[in-house]
Structure 1
Amino acid sequence: MQDSLHLLKTRRFLPLFATQFLGAFNDNLFRTSMVLLVIYGIYGDPQQEATFSAVAGGLFILPFFLLSALAGQLADSIDKARIIRIVKTAEILIMIVGAAGLLLHNVPLLLVALAAMGVHSTFFGPIKYAVLPQHLEDSEVLGGTGLVEAGTYVAILGGTLLGGVLVYQHADGFHVARAAVAVILVALIGRWVGGMVPPAPPQADAPPLKMDWHIIRASVTLVNATLHIRRLFIAILAISFFWAMGAVLAAQFPPLVKNGLGSDQHVATLFLAVFSIGVALGSVAVNRLLGGHVSARYAPVSALGMGLFVLDLYRRVKWWPEIAPGEKLRGLTAFLALPNSWAVVLDLLGVAIAGGMFVVPLYAFLTTTVAKSETARTVAANNIVNSGFMVLATLILTLAVQLGVTVADSLLIVAIASVIAAWLGWLLHKACD
């Protein structure tokens, strides 16, 4: 970790890190504000709330599936710093729409802004990883990737906490005006910082810009061009299983807390915060363990660790004491006073730490195993497959909820997927290390 901290003092890394940090912060500030407002202030039916969470997750991910091929073509063919400036300008306009949705308590408008943020992230996603091998030395890429992931999840924590504080300030009502102002302000700062990212022109051997606007054909072509390489195929599948598990967990946190644990939005915020801290810790720890060397050595045990912690979480939630009819949802103090409450928190932390240790080396592997002129397209292909898995996971989750599967039972889906992720991590370790 100490070796990679020096990157935060350099212009070749700090502006990109800060831009990504602010983007993740604002994304989660808006999403937390939206989810808490809808779950705790607009809807009142458990099935409706769980369905909303799943649909919102699917809408955010769908643009990754549809538009990543276009994003990858752009990022490898023109200056990546220029794309950052365009994307961050678009974020300001999107957050104006999102702020209006918050102020009006308008669910369709909120979902439109959420989907637009998905488009924003689709075009920024390939850049944040593809710039690293272009601006950093080979020995710095794993550390830089770990810092980006850690910073992302610290930003998620900050945005989550601020969203909870700004939206739900008193027991008798919601106060979203401050959140509406905040998302626009952060977007403006993000645009200013994004303008400081050093130029990242296309490599000399990069293909000329020739956009294929047929999004399905472009996506199929890009994925086929990447997945025929076995080591990339395994790495992308492993990352996809990680994000599919994450999609299920993220979609279910608010309804899990409210309907599974009988607790209020402060406990939901705690869960999101613990998860964010855990992934950040895992992202940093794996760089220290690997000594800067890109390797899948710890991927299998990390994935199995995720599964074991999820199983223990399932066991505890399944037998959690229900609140009495007419009783108020438990606050943070009341929740933490219950037996096994800290065990639930530690389970979440364990899942997140293992997840960070699992995924960071795989992302570093993607950007260092191909030519620098192909990194953005490789990350874009990864994003397409990831998003496909995540959308599929949210569809399965939505269907399961409609069929009567409880939030607690849905955790078993994550546990099963972790075994497959461990197997894929083992295959990649044997093939490349």
Structure 2
Amino acid sequence: MQDSAHLLRTRRFLPIFVTQFLGAFNDNLFRTSMVMLVIYGIYRDATQEATFSAIAGALFILPFFLLSALAGQLADAGDKARIVRIVKTAEILIMIAGAAGLLWHNVPLLLLALCAMGVHSTFFGPIKYAILPQHLRDDEVLAGTGLVEAGTYIGILGGTLLGGVLVLQRPDGSFHAEWAALAVLGVALVGRIAGQFVPPAPPEASAPTFRMDWHIVRASIRLVSGTLHIPRLFLAIVAISFFWAMGAVLAAQFPPLVKNAFGADQTVATLFLATFSVGVAIGSVAVNRLLGGKVSARYSPASAIFMGLFVLDLFRRVKGWPAPTDELRDLTTFLGMPNGWMVVLDLLGVAIAGGMFVVPLYAFLTTTVAKAETARTIAANNIVNSGFMVAATLILTVAVQMGVTVADSLLIVALSSVLAAWLGWKLHLACD
């Protein structure tokens, strides 16, 4: 068995782990606070709420689609640790605008800050995976990738819980988010301090030089085409993209699902998001144990099938759920209802299977190519991922306007998992 905990005691891994953890924490602290404030405190219409959730998801993902090629080139051309520090400084400025949006209940400003955080994550995303082969041994990369993914989702959990708690309801029924505004600024500052300790990660002296292409459309097309023509990378990237497209639909629908299908309040919405985060973290660490540190897609097909089965069971329970009442159910009432705990277990199963599916594929991307090309490979993956996610959220938005329910979208996700399993199986046959 490959022990991964020792990496948390080393300077070559701990600072980047803490930095990415705090980035994920703050992303979700801000996003959850924003969603809870808008859905429970500003809007009063189910269609508006579902549309807002889908648009917010698309705005966060769009920068990945537009700017990942530039982010990958910069990461491979320069010192990744220096870029980390620049990005974390920018996060402080973004969160000043985000905090203002929370204080003023200004939806356009909130969405602008969310999109800017998407830009922040676009430039940080290639680094958090591509830096690992530079600082870790070959037999540590899967463990490090699993810890990064687990840390990301534990950060999501913490940010989600805190974001749900810090949006408070006044006696008159209105909502306010002053504490959430203060928290997002504080976490951004701590993240910048952590980024200062990331060890240098310059390009290798023997790495071939390349010219930066600042034309984002041409660079994106060139990067994706140069990566996807390699069959094993094509299979891994498309499989990861299906996973994130399914995840985007689920994440966008969690708050509307809780309020309009289960008739529950924001405490239950927070539980759903937290359960999903814990599950992915568990799956991310467990798959490293099962594989013994070896990078392999062996368990990806079965993981995708189990993910689909859990979503299908969730769909069945949503369809049979009692009609919402005028008064939203709190957490205790929800869990006390027949099948309340089974809904939570379904979500946990989806997430554990998802973590086991995707972590080996990320490790595969960073170990299959030369170290000088890892950031661009991750960037190409991010472009395709974001394209799938934006397409999924746009289709979801249109479908909601046409009367497709949240439960129906769950059925679509369940069916999509079959294709993800097939891609995982093809990659397993090609590479293992």
TM-score after normalising by structure 1: 0.98
Deviation at 1:170, TM superposition (A): 5.2
Secondary structure of residue in 2 paired with 1:12: coil
The separation in 2 between residues aligned to 1:26 and 1:98, in whole angstroms, is 11
Q: How far apart, in 2, do the equivalents of 1:102 and 1:285 lie?
A: 37
SS at 2:4 equivalent:
helix
Alignment partner, residue 309 of structure 2: 308
Aligned to 2:57: 57
2:365 paired residue number: 366
Q: Which runs of 5+ in 2 are unaligned?
A: none
Instruction: Give % identity.
Output: 80
Indicate yes or no: 2:102 matched with 1:76: no
The answer to whether structure 1 residue 107 and structure 2 residue 107 are counterparts is yes
Question: Is 1:175 the equivalent of 2:179?
Answer: no
Q: Show structure 1 runs of 4+ deviating over 6 A.
A: none
Q: Distance in 2 between matches of 1:168 and 1:269?
A: 13
Distance 1:178 1:155 in 2: 18
Find the counterpart in structure 2 of residue 424 from structure 1.
Answer: 423
Task: Tell me the equivalent position of 1:7.
Answer: 7
Look up the SS of the partner of 1:3 in the other structure.
coil
Return the offset for 1:2. 6.7
Question: Is residue 385 of structure 2 the alignment partner of residue 386 of structure 1?
Answer: yes
Name the stretch that deviates more: 397-406 or 166-175: 166-175
CA distance in structure 2 between the aligned counterparts of 1:392 and 1:233, rounded to whole angstroms: 19
Q: Is the Cα–Cα contact under 8 Å of residues 2 and 143 in structure 2 kept in the other structure?
A: no
- Structure 1 residues 207 and 165 mapped into 2: Cα distance closer, same or farther (>3 Å)? same
For the residues of structure 1 that align with 2:18 and 2:160, how far apart are their CA atoms? Answer: 17
Normalised TM-score (structure 2): 0.98
User: Paired residue for 2:232?
Assistant: 231
Question: For residues 302-359 of structure 1, what are the alpha-carbon distances to aligned partners after superposition, in whole Å with 9 as ceiling and x for unaligned?
Answer: 00000000000001001110123xx210000110110001110000000000000000
Distance 2:170 2:10 in 1: 43
Q: What is the deviation of 1:175?
A: 2.9
| Contact 1:74/1:209, CA 8 A, preserved across alignment | no
CA distance in 2, matches of 1:243, 1:143: 21
Check the 8 A contact 1:166/1:179 in 2, yes or no: yes
Question: Which residue of structure 1 aligns with residue 217 of structure 2?
Answer: 216
Structure 1 residues 21-420: aligned runs within 5 Å: 21-168=21-168, 172-208=173-209, 210-324=211-325, 327-420=326-419
Q: CA deviation at 1:219?
A: 0.2
Give the residue type in structure 2 aligned to 1:149.
E
In 1, Cα distance between equivalents of 2:163 and 2:103: 14
- Number of residue equivalences: 431
Displacement of 1:90 after TM fit? Answer: 0.2
Distance in 2 between the 1:347 and 1:379 partners?
A: 30
State the Cα distance separating 1:212 from its structure 2 match.
Answer: 1.4
Amino acid paired to 1:299: S
1:142-163: CA deviation from partner (whole Å, max 9, x where unpaired) = 0000000001101100000001
Cα separation, 1, equivalents of 2:371 and 2:214: 24
Structure 1: distance between partners of 2:52 and 2:125: 25
Structure 1 distance, partners of 2:125, 2:401, is: 32
Alpha-carbon offset, residue 412 of structure 1:
1.3
Quote the offset at 1:203 in angstroms: 1.6
Q: Which moved more, 1:333-342 or 1:165-174?
A: 165-174
- Asked if structure 1 preserves the Cα contact closer than 8 Å seen for 2:142 and 2:360, the reply is yes
- Tell me by how many angstroms 1:169 deviates: 5.0
